[in-house]
Amino acid sequence: MTDNEVFSRNKVLTIDTMNPTVKKVEYAVRGPIVQRAVQIEKELREGVKKPFTEVIKANIGDAHAMGQQPITFFRQVLALCSYPELLNDNIFPEDAKNRARHILQACGGSSMGAYSASQGIDCVRQDVARYIERRDGGVPCDPDNVYLTTGASDGIVTMLKLLVCGEGASRTGVMISIPQYPLYSAALAELGAVQVNYYLNEEKCWSMDLSELERSLAEARKHCNPKAICIINPGNPTGQVQSRQCIEDVIRFAAKERLFLMADEVYQDNVYAEGCQFHSFKKVLFELGPQYSNTVELASFHSTSKCYMGECGFRGGYMEVINMDPEVKAQLTKLVSVRLCPPVPGQALMDLVVNSPQPGEPSYTTFMKERTATLSLLAEKAKLTEEILNTVPGITCNPVQGAMYSFPNISLPKKAIKEAKALGQAPDMFYCMKMLEETGICLVPGSGFGQKDGTYHFRMTILPPTDKLKILLAKVKEFHQKFTQQYS
Amino acid sequence: MTDNEVFSRNKVLTIDTMNPTVKKVEYAVRGPIVQRAVQIEKELREGVKKPFTEVIKANIGDAHAMGQQPITFFRQVLALCSYPELLNDNIFPEDAKNRARHILQACGGSSMGAYSASQGIDCVRQDVARYIERRDGGVPCDPDNVYLTTGASDGIVTMLKLLVCGEGASRTGVMISIPQYPLYSAALAELGAVQVNYYLNEEKCWSMDLSELERSLAEARKHCNPKAICIINPGNPTGQVQSRQCIEDVIRFAAKERLFLMADEVYQDNVYAEGCQFHSFKKVLFELGPQYSNTVELASFHSTSKCYMGECGFRGGYMEVINMDPEVKAQLTKLVSVRLCPPVPGQALMDLVVNSPQPGEPSYTTFMKERTATLSLLAEKAKLTEEILNTVPGITCNPVQGAMYSFPNISLPKKAIKEAKALGQAPDMFYCMKMLEETGICLVPGSGFGQKDGTYHFRMTILPPTDKLKILLAKVKEFHQKFTQQYS
């Protein structure tokens, strides 16, 4: 080889030589529309004239970025754990100091800078277990079944990784709802697993139909080996809260069809609608009796990022595994050990969530006030969003029963659909992109989550402050009417 | 299906049905010996009599767990970022407050609880870029090439993930040193890539030989498609610091052979030996001239976990990519977006490391005192470890030039080797396990890192406090002599 040949080389790593499964990954929540939003923000800063003065991001469940305030107690304890010298001052209440001591004594060298056990700090897992027991009315929880994670995403990807094997018609299939949260499709694409879609029933407020599960599974069995079913409850992006009956149906279905259950329950405190209640899969599983609770394999996921905390940046979370084969559990523990441990500040925060101030403790009143205020405000905004969207001709919005999102159905004129397709864009991507350019509102098109063919949606968070949310909804209304007129 | 059939089912997920690549993963640093150490600690707490009163863990580079103190300034800023109300008090110096404001203004809603950009907070990436430029004597660094990560491990796994493709003889091969840090072998096993071993030269203080690289590559090309070479410098587990000449050789080799370079430089401040100096691959690459600096693809990795910080629990880190194909970079950005973002407290800490107190700032003197004290102590302990180990007949230890580990060669009697093999154990695992049971010292056998056939080693960190380190080394000496006698 001559020097010129050496140096005129093409790259080693190109779009053609790279991992093909990575190329298949898509993640709409941070996709092209969000990238354009970031660009527009930059243009605005540089003085480019636009028909609006700011971008309103309703694309991601990022509560603090939308102005939600952190829980005072949690942040006091985190400050104490970061700089334990503060334990000697009198600026923080005693219960905050006690929690900090509780966490620090469990850290190597009493420092959040030490690695923890790969499964997570022992005492945090014990606190998580007691929290789950309280939540589920006494159903026992073994801390050995609890794994702390780097956000819920990490736990979900890890569980999927364990499940995937086989080639061709025996390749692992995983059932996910459509619409779905695109972490699932992205992880399945990356792992080369088969995504098996089951459709939520939009007419019945995004509930799950047993017959649809059966259809989906029968279809999938023709070309892959379906081994697991994922449920997000309360729903993302669809904001429904599944009924107890529905959860029971899913568990019976999983038992009958030999499916591993994955329950994404990160919105468990985000339930707003009258008559709706959060039921954990674990609790319902145990209520169905030992023939279910001793056999059905379940992994459930929680996080510090949602609920009233909204602490996304800390990447805290846990998963609980039930009825997992001990050999597989040993493999799981080994697998998580390669990444050493979840971030310790996130573990500390998870501990505070499951071990929050109790009646009689100095921080209790403030904590409850803050928690209630945040959840009440979210409930108001959920109602407001549904109501205003439903006043727009051509937009139909199911009640936002829980979580942080509305996922309204939008009617798009045929001419708009045609124009979008000519541009090679999904029609709702075309719609959302136009809305962004004209109004500064950043939503995620329904096509990023999956939807029934021929239907169109967008996902919109209910997180902006009420005054901004009202402006946003008014602008959406105005845009939709203009858009409909323009393409009619 | 009858009810009994439903409920007597085997598990869905068993050792036979799970992902086979996960089963192949091994991670010695937290492997069986460490699990046994944890058990023994529990037994000691429960009052079980042992020939020792505590387990000394020298198995993992976990500085704070071994009593190293965090840098005061870093923790003050983290406390301020956790609980910004502290900005209103006068307990922290002005430069700490300024750094906290600098970080918080770049967070969504001025909160570490908001998600950051997936690539990492903009201003942190800018600070990293300026740090790299200073470190490399002015070689330019574009913040767009910097990705913040969840520890260095996360960056390394992500890069390997991008690189892997093909089947059979065209499957991607990745060259790694033997001995190696087992994250590499674990990640390659999980990704189903081919691990291509090149051996470090123990006789020449674990340096890299060009002829060995050539041998290894030629061998590998017979059965796979080698696309990348990984180097750890300063070395883990071997503690060497590669010479400038050696790094130049590796770069020329990578250029000539069309290999993507991965430089793991997490120990860049941990250089102790006279005459040794850290040379970044990036700097040497640019010093070789544009024919190299414009073509060779390089990813280099750094972390908050090592050096003088030792902040493992925060899972902070970054990687810089050079000459990466823009299409591939877009894929990389997309891939990291699925996990949303690295933990923000870890990003904040990374910012402090690359933007530490400067002369004239109130915290400068204390910062420098703490930094220097930690590094000097490590240098002393490196020397002490080498010296004492070399007094033991049958143990030969290369100088610990850098990083945090010694990796001595141990002579094992034939009878011991035979007994180990009869038990199905690697001989150095047999040795280390016996040492743990008899002395309470937890080391990692060389077989967990790879070594030349017929040689045996262990990895021992130099992190225990000096008095404990002396006890540990005396116990190792005593044990080795006893073991040798017993099996001779």
Q: What is the pLDDT of residues B177-207, one digit of tens each?
A: 999 999 999 999 989 999 999 999 999 999 9
Q: Are residues B50 and B146 located together in one domain of the fold?
A: no
Same-domain pairing of B262 and B208: yes
Kindly determine whether residue B334 and residue A25, on different chains, have CB atoms separated by under 8 Å: yes
Q: Mean of the pLDDT values across residues B400-410?
A: 96
Mutate: best of A6, A13, A171, A314, partner B, most B CBs <10 A: A13
- Closest chain B residue to A158, measured at CA: B22
Is B262 in contact with B230 (CB distance < 8 Å)? Answer: yes
Looking at the domain assignment, is residue B76 inside a domain? Answer: no
pLDDT of residue B1: 45
Q: Residue A397: what pLDDT?
A: 96
CA B344, B346, B350, B355 torsion-angle sign? positive
Instruction: Inspect the interface and report whether the beta carbons of B295 and A63 lie closer than 8 Å.
Output: no
In angstroms, the CA B84 to CA B110 distance is: 9
Report the residue of A15, A19, A170, A374 to disrupt the B interface, i.e. the one with the largest count of B CBs within 10 Å: A19
First to last CA, chain A: 64
pLDDT tens digits for B259-288?
A: 999 999 999 999 999 999 999 999 999 999
How many beta-carbon pairs under 8 angstroms link A with B? 306
Q: Which of B305, B328, B354 is the last residue of a domain?
A: B354
Q: Check pLDDT > 70 for residue A166.
A: yes
Last residue of a domain, one of A327, A354, A381: A354
Q: Is B470 contained in some domain?
A: yes
Shared domain for A315 and A390, answered yes or no, is no
Of B11, B30, B312, the CB nearest to A113: B312
**A386 in the same domain as A340:** no
A364-A367-A372-A373 Cα dihedral, nearest 10 degrees: 140
Per the CB < 8 Å rule, is B183 touching A63?
A: no
CA distance linking residue A314 with residue A63, whole number of Å: 13
Closest to B66 (Cβ–Cβ): which among A70, A109, A327? Answer: A109
Looking at the fold, whether A182 and A304 belong to one and the same domain comes out as yes
A35 pLDDT more than 90: no
Regarding whether B209 and B326 lie in a shared domain, the answer is yes
Task: Name the minimum distance, in Å, from the CA of B186 to any CA of chain A.
Answer: 7
CA distance B395 to chain A (A): 29
Residue A250 sits in a domain whose CATH number is 3.40.640.10
Q: Average per-residue pLDDT in chain B? A: 94
At which of A332, A354, A376 does a domain end? Answer: A354
In a domain, A399, yes or no: yes
Instruction: Give yes or no for a contact between A148 and A344, defined as CB atoms under 8 angstroms apart.
Output: no
Q: Which of A23, A86, A162 sits opposite B13 (nearest CB)?
A: A162
B5 occurs within a structural domain? no
Instruction: Read off the pLDDT of each residue in A116-125 and give the average, rounded to a whole number.
Output: 95
Asked if residue B163 lies in contact with residue B324, where contact means CB atoms within 8 angstroms, the answer is no
When pLDDT is cut at 50, 70 and 90, the band that residue B479 belongs to is very high
pLDDT at position B9, please? 60
Interface test with B, best of A3, A4, A6, A18 (most B CBs within 10 A): A18
Examine the domain organization and report whether B340 and B387 are in the same domain. no
Q: Is residue A28 situated within a structural domain?
A: yes
ipTM of the complex: 0.93
Same domain for B350 and B372, yes or no, is no
User: In this structure, are B223 and B144 located in the same domain?
Assistant: yes
- Residues spanned by the domain of B35: 20-67+367-486
Binning pLDDT at 50, 70 and 90, where does residue A339 land? confident
Query: In this complex, which of A19, A66, A343 lies closest to B164 when CB atoms are compared?
Result: A19
Per CB-CB distance under 8 Å, the chain A contacts of B151 are 339-340
A242 occurs within a structural domain: yes
Check: CB of residue B19 under 8 Å from CB of residue B441.
no
Where does residue B343 rank: exposed (0-12), middle (13-18), buried (19+ CB within 10 A)?
Answer: buried
Number of folded domains that form chain A: 2
Asked whether residue B59 falls in the same domain as residue B198, the answer is no
Of A155, A143, A109, the closest CA to residue A339 belongs to A155
Residues B316, B171, single domain; the answer is yes
pLDDT band for position A340 (50/70/90)? confident
* pLDDT of A28 higher than 80: no
The residue behind tokens 């990293």 is B128
Contacts of B269 (CB under 8 A, 6+ apart): B278, B306, B307, B308, B375
Please report which confidence band the pLDDT of residue A228 belongs to, taking 50, 70 and 90 as the band edges: very high
Domain assignment of residue B339, yes or no: yes
Nearest CA in chain A to B170: A17
Q: Out of A63, A327, A343, whose CB is closest to B345?
A: A343
**In this predicted structure, what is the pLDDT of residue B337?**
87
- Residue A478, domain CATH: 3.90.1150.10
Residue A197 bridge partners (DSSP): A176
Q: B297 pLDDT exceeds 50?
A: yes
Same domain, A429 and A462: yes
- 3-state class percentages of chain B: helix first, strand second, coil last, to nearest 5: 50, 15, 40
Q: What is the pLDDT of residue A1?
A: 46
A15 vs B70, B79, B325: nearest CB = B325
B88 within domain boundaries: no
